[in-house]
C-alpha cells in the first residue's frame, strides 16, 4: 500500500508540472517545493503578458523554421518599449499653463505693403513665444515677416518695442528680439519657454495650443495630434504671394486655432514647445503647426546670418526640378517599390537642365544618398535634401532613364522665390519688384533681367505713359535694366538730371513695346 501511494504521489507531481494551476494546492514538501517553483513561474509571466518588440522579432523566415533535430527552438520575446505620456489631467494642464504662459507674448506689427504705387504699413496682431534669455521670440512669417514696426506685450502687461531679426517665408518662421535696452532700463522681468523635440510626437498625443487670439490675453486650448507629417501636396501653399511649406510637413491637431493665435507655441503635457501654431480651418477641427525642430533649425540660421544692418536669412540650394511621388507608377517605370522619385518638371536654364536632366527621369541618388519618394508626405523631406546642399557646389545625380542608369553632374544655385524685392518709385508713381528666375519661368519670360511693375498711382507719369501691372521694364533710355539695383541707379540718375522724357522698353506678355515717360519737376 505504501509503495502504491508513493507511485501515485510521483504521478501527481508530474501532472502538477504540466498543469500550473494545480501547483497552488501542492503541499509544501521538499520535493514538491522544487516542482512548484518550476510550475508557478509561467503563472507569474501570464499575469502581465509580454509585449512583442516587432523590431527584434522581425527576422528572416529561417529564424522561425522548425529545428532539424526534433528539439523545440527557443524564441526569446522581448517586452516592447512603450512611450509614456503624462495624462492630460486638469492638474497637469494647469501646471503646463503656469509654466508656459509667462513666455507667451502678443505682437502688434506694422508690415510693409505696396498699394497704388506707394509703400504703406498694414497693422495686425499675432502671438509669439520667448525662447531664450536674450529675448528672442519665435513667431510666424505671416505675423512679423517684412515688419517695419513691432511692439510686444509681455505676460506682466509691459509693452516693449522689438525688432525683426530675420524671416523665412518658406517655413513661415520669423525671429523677433525684444529691445533689451528697454528691458534693462526698466528692469522688466520676462520668462522663456523650453523647446522640445517634435520628432518624438505621436498621433493621439495630448497637446496644448497657447496664444493671444483676437489680441486678448493668453488662452489655451487642448487637443490631440491628429497627424505628425501632414502634407498638402500636390497643392502649393502661399502666404500672400510667398511660397511656404516646401521643405517640411506640418503637425495636424484638433486643438482649435483662432485668429491671433498664429505664432504661439504648441506644447506637450511636459510643458515643452513642440510646434509653432500656424493656421486653422474654422469649424472643421483642422489646425496646423510648424514642427519645433524645423523652427529651431531656421531660427539658428537666421541668428547666425543676422547683423546690425541686415536681416538674417536661410540660404538654400536649388537644382530647378519638381518632384513627384512614384506611388502606383512603379510598374509603368519598371522600378522597385521605394526606390527613387520622378522628375516631374525641369526649369528652363536651371542647373538640372544644364546638366542634362530630363522630365520623367527617375532620380535615385544625390551624392550617393538614396532618394526614395513613394508617398506625398515624403516629397518635402526630399526637397529639403536638395535645399541643404551647399550653394555653388557640384553634385552627382544618379538617374534611371528608360531602364538605363546614368550619372550626371550639376552645380547648385541659390534658391529664389517668385516674389522679388519690392521698392517704391515715388516720382514715377509706381512700385516695382526684381524679376527672379522663378518668376521668369512662371511668366514664361525669356530671362530674369528687368523689373516687374506691381502697383501704380493714378494720374502719375507711369500711368499716363500707359504702363500696367505685370509689365516688365527691360531698358531705360536704351540702357538695359539687368536687375533691381540697376533700375534704381538709372531711376535716381534721371531724377538727379531732371530728365523730362524717358524711353522705356516694356515686355507685356510675349510682346515688346515702347512707352514715353513725361516728367515735370
pLDDT the model gives residue 142 = 95
d(CA 380, CA 325): 11
Calculate mean pLDDT across residues 282-288. Answer: 79
Q: What is the band of 211 on the pLDDT scale with cuts at 50, 70, 90?
A: very high
3-state helix, strand, coil in the chain (%, to 5): 25, 35, 40
* Closest of 154, 155, 160 to residue 179, by C-alpha: 160
pLDDT the model gives residue 55 = 34
Question: Active-site residue among 127, 142, 361, 449?
Answer: 142
d(CA 263, CA 152): 13
Of 237 and 296, which is predicted with more confidence? 296
Q: Which of 198-212, 215-229, 315-329, 422-436 has the lowest mean pLDDT?
A: 215-229
Check whether 4 has a pLDDT greater than 70. Answer: no
pLDDT the model gives residue 56 = 33
pLDDT the model gives residue 259 = 82
Q: What is the band of 83 on the pLDDT scale with cuts at 50, 70, 90?
A: low
Question: Active-site residue among 172, 318, 361, 471?
Answer: 172
**Any catalytic annotation for residue 262?**
yes
Check whether 66 has a pLDDT greater than 70. Answer: no
User: For residues 399 and 464, is the Cβ–Cβ distance under 8 A?
Assistant: no
pLDDT the model gives residue 338 = 80
pLDDT the model gives residue 346 = 97
Calculate mean pLDDT across residues 160-169. Answer: 97
Calculate mean pLDDT across residues 484-512. Answer: 96
Q: What is the band of 38 on the pLDDT scale with cuts at 50, 70, 90?
A: very low
Question: Active-site residue among 226, 248, 262, 350?
Answer: 262
What does the block give as the cell for 204? 493621439
Sign, CA torsion 416/418/419/421: positive
∠ CA 139-317-238, rounded to 5°: 45
User: For residues 9 and 35, is the Cβ–Cβ distance under 8 A?
Assistant: no
pLDDT the model gives residue 36 = 35
Q: What is the band of 218 on the pLDDT scale with cuts at 50, 70, 90?
A: confident
* Closest of 448, 476, 450 to residue 462, by C-alpha: 476
d(CA 450, CA 434): 7
Q: Which residues, in sequence order, are CB contacts of 300 under 8 Å at separation 6+?
A: none
**Any catalytic annotation for residue 471?**
no
Q: What is the band of 14 on the pLDDT scale with cuts at 50, 70, 90?
A: very low
pLDDT the model gives residue 29 = 38
| Residues 30/33/34/35 CA torsion (nearest 10 deg) | 120
**Any catalytic annotation for residue 172?**
yes
In the DSSP assignment, the letter for residue 195 is E
Tell me the C-alpha to C-alpha distance, in Å, between residue 104 and each of 10, 177, 252.
75, 13, 21
What does the block give as the cell for 343? 522628375
pLDDT the model gives residue 20 = 38
Q: Which residues, in sequence order, are CB contacts of 102 under 8 Å at separation 6+?
A: 155, 190, 191
Q: What are phi and psi of 291, to 5 degrees?
A: -55, 140
pLDDT the model gives residue 386 = 98
Query: In what helix (H) or strand (E) does residue 447 lie, and over which residues does it extend?
Result: none
* Closest of 478, 171, 165 to residue 311, by C-alpha: 165
* Closest of 160, 72, 164 to residue 111, by C-alpha: 164
Please report, rounded to a whole number, the percentage of residues in the chain having pLDDT higher than 90: 74
pLDDT the model gives residue 290 = 97
Check whether 463 has a pLDDT greater than 60. Answer: yes
Please report, rounded to a whole number, the percentage of residues in the chain having pLDDT higher than 70: 84
Q: What is the band of 80 on the pLDDT scale with cuts at 50, 70, 90?
A: low
Amino acid at each position: 500500500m505504501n509503495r502504491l501511494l508513493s507511485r501515485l504521489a510521483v504521478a501527481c507531481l508530474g501532472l502538477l508540472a504540466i498543469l500550473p494551476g494545480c501547483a497552488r494546492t501542492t503541499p509544501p514538501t521538499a520535493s514538491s517545493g522544487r516542482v512548484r517553483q518550476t510550475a508557478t513561474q509561467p503563472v507569474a509571466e501570464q499575469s502581465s503578458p509580454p509585449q512583442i518588440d516587432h523590431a527584434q522579432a522581425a527576422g528572416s523566415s529561417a529564424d522561425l523554421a522548425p529545428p532539424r533535430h526534433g528539439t523545440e527552438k527557443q524564441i526569446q520575446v522581448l517586452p516592447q518599449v512603450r512611450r509614456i505620456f503624462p495624462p492630460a489631467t486638469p492638474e497637469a494642464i494647469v501646471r503646463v499653463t503656469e509654466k508656459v504662459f509667462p513666455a507667451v507674448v502678443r505682437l502688434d506689427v506694422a508690415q510693409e505693403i505696396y498699394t497704388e504705387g506707394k509703400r504703406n504699413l498694414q497693422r495686425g496682431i499675432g502671438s509669439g513665444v520667448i525662447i531664450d534669455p536674450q529675448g528672442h521670440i519665435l513667431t510666424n512669417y505671416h505675423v512679423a515677416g517684412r515688419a517695419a514696426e513691432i511692439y510686444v506685450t509681455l505676460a506682466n502687461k509691459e509693452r516693449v518695442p522689438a525688432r525683426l531679426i530675420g524671416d523665412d517665408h518658406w517655413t513661415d518662421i520669423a525671429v523677433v528680439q525684444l529691445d533689451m535696452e528697454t528691458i534693462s532700463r526698466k528692469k522688466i522681468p520676462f520668462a522663456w519657454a523650453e523647446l522640445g523635440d517634435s520628432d518624438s510626437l505621436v498621433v493621439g498625443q495630448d497637446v496644448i495650443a497657447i496664444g493671444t487670439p483676437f489680441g486678448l490675453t493668453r488662452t489655451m486650448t487642448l487637443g490631440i495630434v491628429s497627424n505628425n507629417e501632414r502634407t498638402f501636396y500636390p497643392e502649393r501653399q502661399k502666404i500672400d504671394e510667398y511660397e511656404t511649406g516646401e521643405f517640411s510637413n506640418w503637425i495636424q491637431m484638433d486643438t482649435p486655432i483662432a485668429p491671433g493665435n498664429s505664432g504661439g507655441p504648441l506644447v506637450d503635457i511636459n510643458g515643452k514647445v513642440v510646434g509653432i501654431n500656424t493656421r486653422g480651418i474654422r469649424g472643421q477641427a483642422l489646425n496646423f503647426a510648424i514642427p519645433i525642430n524645423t523652427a529651431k533649425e531656421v531660427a539658428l540660421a537666421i541668428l547666425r546670418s543676422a547683423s546690425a544692418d541686415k536681416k538674417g536669412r536661410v540660404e538654400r540650394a536649388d537644382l530647378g526640378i519638381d518632384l513627384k511621388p512614384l506611388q502606383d507608377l512603379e510598374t509603368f517605370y519598371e522600378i522597385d517599390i521605394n526606390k527613387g522619385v520622378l522628375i516631374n518638371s525641369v526649369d528652363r536654364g536651371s542647373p538640372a537642365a544644364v546638366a542634362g536632366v530630363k522630365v520623367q527621369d527617375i532620380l535615385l541618388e544625390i551624392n550617393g544618398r538614396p532618394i526614395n519618394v513613394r508617398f506625398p508626405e515624403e516629397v518635402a523631406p526630399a526637397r529639403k535634401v536638395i535645399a541643404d546642399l551647399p550653394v555653388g557646389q557640384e553634385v552627382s545625380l544618379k538617374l534611371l532613364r528608360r531602364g538605363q542608369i546614368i550619372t550626371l553632374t550639376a552645380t547648385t544655385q541659390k534658391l529664389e522665390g517668385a516674389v522679388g524685392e519690392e521698392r517704391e518709385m515715388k516720382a514715377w508713381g509706381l512700385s516695382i519688384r526684381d524679376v527672379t528666375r522663378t518668376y521668369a519661368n512662371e511668366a514664361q519670360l525669356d530671362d530674369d533681367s528687368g523689373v516687374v511693375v506691381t502697383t501704380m498711382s493714378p494720374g502719375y507719369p507711369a500711368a499716363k505713359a500707359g504702363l500696367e501691372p505685370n509689365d516688365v521694364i527691360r531698358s531705360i533710355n536704351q540702357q538695359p535694366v539687368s536687375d533691381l539695383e540697376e533700375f534704381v541707379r538709372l531711376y535716381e540718375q534721371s531724377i538727379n538730371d531732371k530728365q523730362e522724357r524717358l524711353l522705356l522698353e516694356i515686355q507685356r506678355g510675349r510682346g515688346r513695346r515702347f512707352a514715353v515717360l513725361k516728367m515735370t519737376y
